[in-house]
Structure 1
Amino acid sequence: MGLARNDLVIVSVLLAGTLLAVLNQTLLSPALPAIMSGLQVDATTVQWLTSGYSLVEAVVIPLAAFLIGRFTTRQLFITGLSLFTAGSFLAAIAPHFSVLLLGRVLQAACTGMVMPMVMTVILLVIPREKRGQAMGVIGLIIGFAPAVGPSVAGMLVDSVGWRALFVIVTVLSVFVLLLAIRVLRNYGSFERSKFDVVSVLLSSVGLVCLLYGLSTFSSSDNLLVTGLLVAVGLVVTGLYVRRQFTLPEPMLKIDILKTRKYAITVSIVVLIQVSLVGVGVITPLYIQGVCGYSATASGVAMLPGALIGAALGLVAGRLFDRCGVRRVAIPGFVVTMLGAAGLVLLGMDSDIVVITVVYTVLTAGLQFAMTPINTWGLNSLDNGVLQHAQGLSNTLNQVAASFGTALLVSVSAFGPAVAPAAEPQAQAFAGYHLAFCTTASLLAVAFVVVIFFVRGDKKRAAAPAADQAAVSEPTWETAHVGHVKSTAAWRDAAAQVDYKDLEVRHAMTTDPAYVTVEASMRDVVRLLAATETSGVPVVDESHRVVGFVSDGDVASYLGRNESSLFDAALNLYRFADDDEPQLRLARMLDLNVMDMAARHVVAVEPGDSLDEACHMLAAKRIKKMPVVENGVLVGSLSRRNIVQAVAAGL
């Protein structure tokens, strides 16, 4: 990624911390039945290990901007990772459920306050010209960890026990913490944000009351108290929202929900997040508690859905650019509803293969529908409020995760009431079946919202007939402008050769421009302008090609760079580029050419067939490539050369 060795070590430490945090979010699902048995708690109580984790994150995430502005990156990362390590150790030795829950709370606090900072610092450390590659690496790590987490956790639970999960995380976090203390240094100077005590108290109290009330609804001995907690949570959260509208500088700009498309997107995302996270908790309980399979089997059953869903999310993003939101989101929801119907039809003796297929179809459909809907909503906002959208989306996603877990687990606890005369296993199945029906109902509501309210942008009206005629029927003079006269010797040779026999030597430029490894980007820019070419190779003292730099590299560096990334929980991380254009230009011109040049160079030899060279230009989506003999530069071949060679033979 264009990093010096010291910077590579620092980025590796930060990514290791990120990997631990993301892995920890999904690691526990297959272990929940074992924890219930080991610590003598019921499903309604054990779900707090996941919903409580999300709840603490939801409370801490709005404070991230304040914390980043008040503390150095080194202080914040080391402090956060210390909390994470302490929480992991407490969970590993927990004699009671309350100690285990405290450990998870400490882990969640670290994740909520450190994750946004880590993402920002990584992009500060990595050279600007390599950020695209860096985001790909980060996305791979963040997507891979939660995909394999349940499978690995299931095998560990079956072979060693659930405490092994926290022991391993503790050891890894100690290792990362020691590395951070040794190699991490401060990066960036962040502006201090205002801390509104009243807003923090309102959001914290409101969310805790709301989620705790929902979680204990089905198991409470006093429904009046539970209902009162839910009501207080709603009222206090409403006061928090009202305060954000009245503050001159709100901690969270909630008025962006007045944008209709974004508000529709948020409502759909919340319903999907409730369903996705809730089913992720209920499914292992159903597989192990009702069907009698092992924790390993439950983890493996959830693996294909995570992997295929991540891949389909990338595909859906590309299709959205081509086809618009409806043509991608609606098929995605059709697949989702097939998976939801499969959940409802599962029985007490369903085969693990059937369960795996149903869960995979459901999660793959949701991920396929999520990407275009999320992008459609964010595209409706001005760039100036995207940072607030990030905070709002992250907070709502975490609340939805907690709500989904609490809701479905609470619904599943009604099993004995639904089938009072049945055996305990049948009662458990009745509860899980009711939770699956609830999931299908929520997704059906989301599907209806998509059908009636998610609309693509209207196409621009057709141009006036006169203007269309001017475009479609050009004059003879304009139609023939741009013909190139055939003056080079190789054109005459090419005219005597059939196209099928053309080689690169028949079309290449034999006097290509180049720069040496000592050149600066200032030299490169001047050469590109003087020769009116799209790119030049970089050669060493032996005239061997060691790199290639193009006008696209220059444009990419100078353009404002805003990157976004979705993690496995569908949280959006967006990074805005606030560099002044003049600063970017000055910094680029002073770079050595090898700081920006591609080191893996696509090249051909003079004797290669021209059709193969054409295929390479098209497949690699490049405009130009060097021609080499034994690695030494002897020419260049561009798309323009191809056209000229073909034209010379007509």
Structure 2
Amino acid sequence: MGLTRKQISTVAVLLIGTFVVVLNQTLLSPALASIMRDLSIDAPTVQWVMSIYSLVEAVVIPLSAFLIGRFSTRQLFITGLIIFTAGSLLCAFSPGFIFLLLGRVCQAIAAGVFMPMIFTVLLLIFPREKRGSAMGLVSLVIGFAPAVGPTLSGVLVDSIGWRMLFVVITVVGVLLVLSAVKFLENYGDFERTSFDKLSVLLSTVGLVCLLYGLSTFSSTTNPAMTAGFIVVGLVVIAIFVRRQLKLENPLLKVTVLKTRNYRIAIIVAIINFGVLIGLGTILPLYLQTLRGFSALETGLTLLPGALIGAFVGYFAGRLFDRWGVRKCVVPGVTIFFVGTLGFLLFDMNTDLLVICAIYTVVALGIQFLTTPMNTWGINSLDNSVIQHANAVTNTLNQVSAAFMTALIVSISALGSTIAPNADPTMQLYEGDHLAFVATAVLAAIAFIVVMFFVRDKRKRDTHIAPMSMQQFSPSENTDEIPVSRAMNPEPYFVTSTASIREVAQIMVDNKASGVPIVDHNKMVVGFISDGDIMKYIGRNDGILDSTYMLYQVPDPQTFPQRISKLIDMNVMQIATKNVIAVKSDSSLEDACRLLSEKRIKKVPVVEEGELVGSLSRADVIRGTMANIVTIKAMAEKDDAKKPQLA
């Protein structure tokens, strides 16, 4: 990867930290029933351990730019880890629910602080030409952690107890702090920014009041007070939004929501994320409290959906590049909606495999929908506001997770209200069924929004997959013109030890768009084009798009810095190594098709892997003009072979 041993250690610490933080989002799902029994609390109360985590993250995430500019990355990461570990320790030994909640608040504060910072630092550590690898590593971690969380939780809860979850996290946190102290260095010189303290206060008060009202409406003995909290929350949030519109440097630049496509994408995204996290809370409660399954069985039920969903989410972005948004999101939202209808079939005897299959379908639909919608929305914005859009998206996702969880669990507590004369078991069933109806209604809203408002404005370019080494064999048709008749038999080339400076000079002197790279035996080992150079020196923002977060970090290097670094690099560092080549005796017609379909300007011509020439589009034109007499004779011969019409 081009990293030193210390940098590799730093990357390992950062990735493990990312894994633990993202794992924490889903780890508690199978433990909720045990926490309810142990602390003698009901479902609307226990859901706070999930929703408070998302809510605090939503408040802290907009402050990340200020914190990164004010403190060094080393200070921020280590301090965040200490707060996270202290919160985990408090959760592990909490004597009551309020202490468990305080511990979760500490964990969420730390997560909101250093998750954006981790992503930024990883981009700075990796060489520019290896940043795709960095994004792949982070995406793998973010996709894998939520998948294994419920299963790992189920094993620990069934064998040792729910407190052991936090003991394990505490131990890992201590080890990470010690490793960070030893290996982590400061990266980047970030601009100092300020933040509006009143905006933070307004967002916190408004969100907490609204969440409390939604969490207690189904079980309150004082409906007026609950309604008051909801009204106060809405009013304070409205004041917050109004203030953001007036500030020159707002905490959240809500004006990005004026862009139609981005606004539509946000609506679908918050439904997706809210339903996913809400189901992660209500489904384990249904399985354990109502059906009597163990925490491990619950975790295993959620595992296939999380794993398959993460895999599908990875490829959904690539399919978006190839097909456009509508061909991706229409199947995705349809699968999502139909899957939630499956929840309505659940009863007291539904087989566990059926439950697993339906949840997997829903998770697959959500993942297939999320990345294309996010990308479509972000693409509609000007580059200057993308950072603000990231903050808005991530904040609203966390707010949605908190509110949807509170809403769905509170709806599930209405069982005693809608069936007052039923036995307690049937009341639980009626409440859970009503919660599943709510998820289907939310999915229906997403379905309607996508079907009526998401459109491809213009046809997108076809995505070209990475090319593999391929040699076109000679045609058996002796009437066809071979490549050797049109190729340049004295091609320009460089050796694998050359620098970009040498390559650039050859391109300038000979007006060449690309140059083959050979080893000491003149065997083709790579190809460098002007496109490879443009890709390196052009702006390259880091993008991470997953169901759980969306980040886009601006390229930290200036244009002159990128050119200065590139010019003395070895050619193989940015060259295409899996090269398409054609044989000298292969058909010129096939070579033309290759140049057209792959949208490339030049290919090496080889014999048994050794470079013997090159073929460009200009060579094809020159070759055909030079052989026009022969070509016309061949055409007349072909005309003579055509059957005569009667």
Shift of 1:419: 2.1
**Does residue 576 in structure 1 map to residue 568 in structure 2?**
no
Residue 517 of structure 2 corresponds to: 537
Deviation of 1:333 after TM superposition, in Å, equals 2.0
Query: What whole-Å deviation, never above 9, does each CA across 1:534-583 have from its counterpart, x for those lacking one?
Result: 2432536x8787765443321210111123222342x2111222543233
Contact 2:604 2:611 in 1 (8 A): no
Q: Is the 8 A contact 1:289 1:425 kept in 2?
A: no
Residue 588 of structure 1 aligns with which residue? 566
Q: Secondary structure at the match of 2:421?
A: coil
Q: Deviations over 1:566-613 (max 9, x none)?
A: 2342x2111222543233222211323344346x656989899999x9
Partner of 1:422: 422
**Distance in 2 separating the partners of 1:177 and 1:345:** 48
Question: What letter is aligned with 2:237?
Answer: T
| Counterpart Cα distance in 2 of 1:12 and 1:529 | 42
The whole-number CA distance in structure 2 between the counterparts of 1:314 and 1:500 is 47
Structure 2 gap ranges (5+)? 461-472, 635-646
* Aligned-residue RMSD, C-alpha: 3.4
Contact 1:494–1:502 under 8 Å retained in 2:
no
CA distance in 1, matches of 2:119, 2:68: 12
Alignment of structure 1 residues 151-300 onto 2, 5 Å: 151-300=151-300
State the alpha-carbon separation in 1 of the partners of residues 479 and 309 from structure 2: 44
Separation in 2, partners of 1:374, 1:289: 36
Summarize deviations over 1:132-165 as a string: whole Å, max 9, x none.
Answer: 2221222112111112221222222222322222
The CA distance in 1 between the partners of 2:174 and 2:120, in whole Å, is 23
* Counterpart position of 2:506: 527
Distance 1:375 1:596, change over 3 A: closer
What is the match of residue 48 of structure 2?
48
| Contact map agreement 1:154 1:295 (CA 8 A) in 2 | yes
Task: Report the 3-state secondary structure (helix = DSSP H, G, I; strand = E; otherwise coil) of the residue aligned with 1:345.
Answer: coil
Change (3 A) 1:546 1:446: closer
- Which string of whole-angstrom CA distances, capped at 9 and with x for unpartnered residues, describes residues 235-285 of structure 1? 111111111111122121111212222222222222222222111211111
1:626, distance to aligned residue in structure 2 (A): 8.6
CA gap 1:617/1:325 in 2 versus in 1, 3 angstroms: closer
Q: Who is 1:123 aligned against?
A: 123
Letter in 2 for 1:112: G
Check conservation: 1:2, 1:595, Cα contact below 8 A: no
Q: Deviations over 1:273-298 (max 9, x none)?
A: 22221112111111112222221221
**Do 1:504 and 1:637's aligned partners in 2 also have CA atoms closer than 8 Å?**
no
C-alpha separation in 2, matches of 1:457 and 1:225: 48
Q: Equivalent of 1:553, from 529, 532, 540?
A: 532
CA distance in 1, matches of 2:482, 2:91: 67
1:375 aligns with 2:361: no
Change in Cα spacing, 1:20 to 1:617, as seen in structure 2 (3 Å) is farther
CA displacement, residues 458-494 of structure 1 (integer Å, 9 cap, x when unaligned): 679xxxxxxxxxxxxxxxxxxxxxxxxxxxxxxxx97
- 2:549 is aligned with 1:567: no
Q: Shift of the alpha carbon at 1:82?
A: 0.9
Q: Distance in 2 between matches of 1:336 and 1:428?
A: 25
Alpha-carbon separation, structure 2, partners of 1:627 and 1:50: 61
Distance in 2 (CA, whole Å) between partners of 1:299 and 1:242 is: 43
Name the amino acid aligned to 2:567.
L
Asked if structure 1 preserves the Cα contact closer than 8 Å seen for 2:370 and 2:547, the reply is no
Partner amino acid for 2:574?
M
1:202-242 Cα distance to aligned partner (Å, 9 max, x none): 11111111112211222222222222111111111111111
Call closer, same or farther: CA 1:440–1:627 in 2, change over 3 Å: same
Q: Corresponding residue for 2:88?
A: 88
2:344 alignment partner, SS class: helix
Relative distance call for 1:547 and 1:250 in structure 2 (3 A) is: same
Q: CA deviation at 1:501?
A: 13
Measure how far apart 1:527 and its partner are. Answer: 2.6
1:373–1:348 distance in 2 versus 1, CA, 3 Å: same
CA contact (8 A) 2:88 2:169 kept: yes
**Distance verdict in 2 for CA 1:282–1:590, change over 3 Å:** same
Question: By how many angstroms is 1:402 displaced?
Answer: 0.1
- Structure 1 gap ranges (5+): 461-492
Contact 2:487 2:614 in 1 (8 A): yes
Letter of the structure 2 residue corresponding to residue 368 of structure 1? F
CA distance in 2, matches of 1:626, 1:103: 65
Counterparts of 2:98 and 2:479, CA distance in 1: 76
**Hey, what's the Cα distance between the residues in 1 that align with 2:211 and 2:374?**
25
C-alpha contact 1:510 1:634 (8 A) present in aligned 2: no
Code of the residue aligned with 1:519 in structure 2: it is A
Letter in 1 for 2:271: L
Decide whether the 8 Å contact of 1:291 with 1:350 is kept in 2.
no
**Alpha-carbon contact 1:528-1:536 (below 8 Å) kept:** no
Tell me the secondary structure at the aligned position of residue 130 of structure 1.
helix
Q: Residue type of the partner of 1:585?
A: I
Partner SS state of residue 565, structure 1: strand
Scaled by the length of structure 1, the TM-score of the pair is 0.85
Amino acid at match of 1:561: N
Deviation string 1:346-393 (CA, Å, 9 cap, x unpaired) is: 111110111011111112112222333222222221111111111111
Shift of the 84–620 alpha-carbon distance from structure 1 to 2, 3 Å rule, reads farther
Give, in whole Å, the separation in 2 of the partners of 1:500 and 1:287. 71
Give the 3 Å change call, closer, same or farther, for CA 601–315 of structure 1 in structure 2. Answer: closer
Paired with 2:424 and 2:287, the residues of 1 have a C-alpha distance of 15
Q: Give the deviation of 1:35 after TM superposition.
A: 1.6
5 Å-filtered alignment, 1:278-427, equals: 278-427=278-427
> Partner of 2:453 in structure 1?
453
2: CA distance between counterparts of 1:206 and 1:408? 20
Write the distance in 2 (CA, Å) between the matches of 1:47 and 1:312: 29
Q: 1:642 to 1:368 in 2, by over 3 A?
A: farther
Q: TM-score, normalised by structure 2?
A: 0.86
Partner-residue secondary structure (3-state), 2:552: strand
* 8 Å CA contact 2:595, 2:617 repeated in 1: no
Q: Report the CA distance between 1:322 and its aligned residue.
A: 4.2
Q: CA deviation at 1:326?
A: 3.0
Q: In the TM superposition, what whole-angstrom CA distance separates every residue of 1:71-120 from its partner, at most 9, and x where no partner exists?
A: 01111011001111111222222232222222211111111010111101
Aligned-partner Cα distance in 1 for 2:607–2:294: 59
The amino acid of 1:177's aligned partner reads V
* SS at 1:212 equivalent: helix
Given that 1:305 and 1:361 are in contact with CA atoms closer than 8 Å, whether structure 2 keeps it comes out as yes
User: Structure 1 536/284 Cα, relative in aligned 2: closer, same or farther at 3 Å?
Assistant: same
CA distance, structure 2, for counterparts of residue 626 and residue 23 of structure 1: 51
